Structure 1
Amino acid sequence: MSERRIYNPIQKDSVVFLKTSADTNGEYTLVEVELADGGGVGLHYHKTYSEKFDCLEGEVQIGLGKEIYGLQPGQSATAHPNMRHLFRNRSGKPCKFRVELRPASVGFERSLQIGYGLASDGLCDKKGFPKDRLALAWLFDISESNLPGWMSIFEFILRKQAKKAIAKGTDRALMEKYVRF
């Protein structure tokens, strides 16, 4: 399974792909995340899949709507489609959890591999965002992420930039270089 482990040297996080869309005929994607203290992903939502978070070690905070839940080992929480959510680690030490997407998302799987690959190659800023704006927009688009509230005004620009990335061939180049499975 180590060949399906990716590491982000900026965020100091690792992800192991336990089951991909290809493994499950599109039924689900299952990843195991080791999240460094201070890490996480801010408020967003997905229209086409749910995310179930299962805490394995330490404590991971899951925001669902306006509530924040501190999950301990053995506890879980689910962000259903169109539900605003976030996850973060504020415990002072690494935490480990699994995330199951239903149905599977090939775009999510690819966006993680590419994003972590860009970070490993020094092509991301200190917050972990790709320096190439077209790459950033395309990754946002294929992960099927959406921004809530007032931040949604940026989505129009990001989606338009994602189309430019495709027209320019940025998508193909990133896939060839970073998508391994």
Structure 2
Amino acid sequence: MPPQSNTSTTGSSAEKPPTTLPLGVKPRDIPILPPGMRDESLRKIHNPIQKNWVYFTTYGREANGAYGTSNGTLQPGGVNRIHWHGSYSETFTALQGSVGIYSKATGKRKLALGESVTVKPGEPHYFFNDGDEEVVFEMKFEPAHEGFEKSLYVMYGLARDRKPGLQGVAGSVLDTAVFCGLGDIWPAGVTGAMLIPVLKGLRWVAKRSGREEKLVKRYWG
């Protein structure tokens, strides 16, 4: 889950196709390729509310679904809510500064430069920055999850449009349900156990009403 604590927009999708298509991707699929594969400038997205950015270094489409990687930042004092992913692992690697990670398996720890930790599917975790400077870290998802990629574009796009909702996560409860369902990102603990059925139900409403399709089309392309 992205940090709860830098500015700009995802921009509009370019029409020019990539020079080389990934294995198994046909020219007819170009309109649904990730934004950064259609326009390199769209690999980097910003959240002006949280003052963070994410740069997609490898979309899942570029690794034939095996993995996806992105670099992200977290501002001083930033922390995201404890959550879990059911269908993919997440490996964090510190690229700049000391990144804080909590997982159920390892407890709370700080990653030194170049150090990594992997969170397994279903394992509750969160990350934080208790230092005085911005930190930069890599996130690697195995296998890749295009829904997660879409969820970040939606969340950061809503923040760009100043419709961020609670702590910059999404524009409304319905949008939060879209974000969680798309990205396979679920709140942990007792509160999570009570909220997840509600979020899944609301996502069904968002899909039936066309809200999810509208958000993806607007911010993913």
Task: Give the TM interval when normalised to the shorter protein.
Answer: over 0.9
**Deviation (angstroms), 1:25:** 0.9
Counterparts of 1:99 and 1:14 in 2: how far apart (Å)? 13
- Normalising by structure 1, what TM-score? 0.95
- What is the match of residue 117 of structure 1? 157
- What is the match of residue 89 of structure 1? 129
Report which stretch shifted further, 128-137 or 85-94: 128-137
Q: Is the 8 A contact 1:29 1:105 kept in 2?
A: yes
Give the SS at the match of 1:40. coil
Counterpart residue identity of residue 102, structure 1: E
Counterparts of 1:10 and 1:148 in 2: how far apart (Å)? 24
Counterparts of 1:124 and 1:147 in 2: how far apart (Å)? 18
Counterparts of 1:29 and 1:89 in 2: how far apart (Å)? 23
Consecutive unaligned residues of structure 2, counting only runs of 5 or more, are: 1-39
- Normalising by structure 2, what TM-score? 0.78
Give the SS at the match of 1:174. helix
Match of 1:134 among 171, 174, 181: 174
2:111 maps to 1:80: no
Counterparts of 1:17 and 1:169 in 2: how far apart (Å)? 27
Match of 1:41 among 80, 87, 93: 80
Q: Is the 8 A contact 2:151 2:183 kept in 1?
A: yes
Distance 1:50 1:105, change over 3 A: same
Distance 1:138 1:125, change over 3 A: closer
- What is the match of residue 11 of structure 1? 50
Q: Is the 8 A contact 2:170 2:179 kept in 1?
A: no
Q: Is the 8 A contact 1:2 1:16 kept in 2?
A: no
Higher strand share: 1
- What is the match of residue 103 of structure 2? 64
Counterparts of 2:160 and 2:78 in 1: how far apart (Å)? 17
2:187 maps to 1:150: no
- What is the match of residue 162 of structure 1? 203
Counterparts of 1:35 and 1:129 in 2: how far apart (Å)? 14
Counterparts of 1:91 and 1:72 in 2: how far apart (Å)? 13
**CA displacement 1:73-131 (0-9 Å, x = unmatched):** 11111101111111111111100000000000111100000100000000113611323
2:24 maps to 1:2: no
**Deviation (angstroms), 1:172:** 1.0
**CA displacement 1:130-179 (0-9 Å, x = unmatched):** 23221111111111012222111111101000000000000111111100
Counterparts of 1:3 and 1:124 in 2: how far apart (Å)? 20
Q: Is the 8 A contact 1:8 1:119 kept in 2?
A: yes
Counterparts of 2:204 and 2:165 in 1: how far apart (Å)? 22
- Provide the alpha-carbon RMSD of the alignment: 1.3
Q: Is the 8 A contact 1:56 1:98 kept in 2?
A: yes
Consecutive unaligned residues of structure 1, counting only runs of 5 or more, are: none
Matched-pair identity in %: 31
